Amino acid sequence: MNYNLFVDESCHLFHDRKSVMCIGYMKVDKDNYENFKNAIFKIKLKHRTPVEIKWRNVSLSRLPLYKELVDFYFASTIDFRCILVKYKDKLPFTEFNQGSPDNFYYNLVFYLLNSAVNPPNSEYRVFMDIKDTRGRDKLKKIKLKLNFVNNHKSPFVFFQHIHSHESEFLQLADLFIGAITYKSLKEDEKENANPAKKKLVEYIEKKSGYLLNEGTEPWENKFNIIDHQPKQHI
Of 89, 29, 11, the closest CA to residue 221 belongs to: 29
Predicted local distance difference test score (pLDDT) of residue 180: 95
**Regions of the chain short of the pLDDT cut 70:** 11-18, 88-102, 131-135, 187-192, 230-234
Predicted local distance difference test score (pLDDT) of residue 89: 67
Predicted local distance difference test score (pLDDT) of residue 147: 87
Say if 219 falls within a structural domain.
yes
Reduced to 3 states (helix: H, G, I; strand: E, B; else coil), residue 29 is strand
- Tell me phi and psi for residue 218, to 5 degrees: -60, -30
Q: How many domains does the chain have?
A: 1
**Strands annotated E in the chain:** 2-10, 21-29, 79-85, 123-129, 156-162, 223-228
Say if 234 falls within a structural domain.
no
Range of the domain at 50: 2-228
Q: What is the CATH number of the domain that holds 97?
A: 3.30.420.10
Predicted local distance difference test score (pLDDT) of residue 98: 53
Predicted local distance difference test score (pLDDT) of residue 10: 78
